[in-house]
């Protein structure tokens, strides 16, 4: 857990008392490959920090699974629309590898935000990081060709090509598995 505390403290230095108050709030959890962290319809009650492993957020388009995100070590993971308003989720979150996670509940996070203004700097910066990621993803989907999206993935997140099954990666890139397979074969 020390590495998570260091990571957060590195974003903005903890004031006196925060570490002692936060430590007992942080719980840990292990997930096996294919296990679910959240299912659509359930409320996402915790914010998770990925210590090890890779998870996928997806939703259903009719009966087809559409991968929205792949998140891995050092990422924070929540179902955004569910967690922040404590409403039922539209998304599933599933482990694609054996995972080790830390988490804090919504209520305890709110308590920390209320007691320690400094933690709001950390929250603001992490939220901004994901806002930038989401903005980039929207731009990729809206303005790029399939080939350009593949090339961006190669440049920005090449390890996903090794860690994520091709079929799941194809839906993330909004293309057919055959298209992705062909691009990989061409060595683009």
- Interacting residue ranges for a copy of itself, rule: CB under 8 A: 59-61, 66, 68, 80-81, 84-85, 90-91, 113, 117-118, 120-121, 123-124, 127-128, 130-132, 134-139, 141-144, 174
Name which of 11 and 98 has its Cβ closer to a copy of itself. 11
Task: Provide the β-strand partners of residue 66.
Answer: 59
Name which of 97 and 118 has its Cβ closer to a copy of itself. 118
Name which of 98 and 130 has its Cβ closer to a copy of itself. 130
Cα 62-71-69 angle, rounded to 5 deg: 25
Kindly state the smallest distance separating residue 92's Cβ from a copy of itself, in Å.
12
Kindly state the smallest distance separating residue 119's Cβ from a copy of itself, in Å.
9
Residue 88 tokens read as 């039922």
Name which of 32 and 128 has its Cβ closer to a copy of itself. 128
CA dist., res. 40 & res. 79, Å (int):
10
Task: Provide the β-strand partners of residue 93.
Answer: 38, 57
Name which of 6 and 81 has its Cβ closer to a copy of itself. 81
Name which of 83 and 103 has its Cβ closer to a copy of itself. 83
Residue 94 tokens read as 């599933």
Burial class (CB in 10 A: 0-12, 13-18, 19+), 138: exposed
Kindly state the smallest distance separating residue 76's Cβ from a copy of itself, in Å.
12
Q: Are 56 and 96 in contact (CB under 8 A)?
A: yes
Kindly state the smallest distance separating residue 169's Cβ from a copy of itself, in Å.
14
CA dist., res. 135 & res. 100, Å (int):
28
Q: How many CA atoms lie within 13 A of 144 on its CB side?
A: 17
Kindly state the smallest distance separating residue 32's Cβ from a copy of itself, in Å.
27
């Amino acid at each position: 857990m020390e590495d998570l505390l260091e990571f957060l403290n590195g974003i903005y230095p903890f004031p006196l008392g925060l570490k002692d108050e936060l430590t007992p709030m942080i719980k840990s959890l292990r997930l096996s490959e294919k296990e679910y962290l959240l299912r659509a319809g359930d409320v996402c009650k915790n914010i998770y920090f990925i210590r090890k492993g890779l998870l996928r957020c997806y939703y259903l388009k009719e009966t087809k699974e559409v991968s929205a995100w792949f998140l891995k070590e050092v990422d924070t993971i929540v179902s955004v629309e569910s967690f922040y308003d404590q409403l039922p989720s539209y998304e599933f979150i599933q482990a694609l590898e054996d995972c080790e996670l830390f988490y804090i509940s919504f209520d305890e996070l709110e308590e920390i935000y209320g007691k320690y203004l400094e933690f709001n700097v950390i929250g603001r910066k992490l939220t901004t990081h994901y806002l930038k990621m989401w903005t980039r993803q929207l731009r990729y989907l809206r303005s790029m060709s399939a080939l350009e999206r593949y090339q961006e993935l190669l440049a920005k997140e090449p390890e996903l090509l090794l860690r994520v099954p091709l079929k799941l990666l194809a839906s993330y890139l909004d293309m057919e598995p055959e298209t992705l397979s062909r691009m990989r074969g061409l060595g683009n």
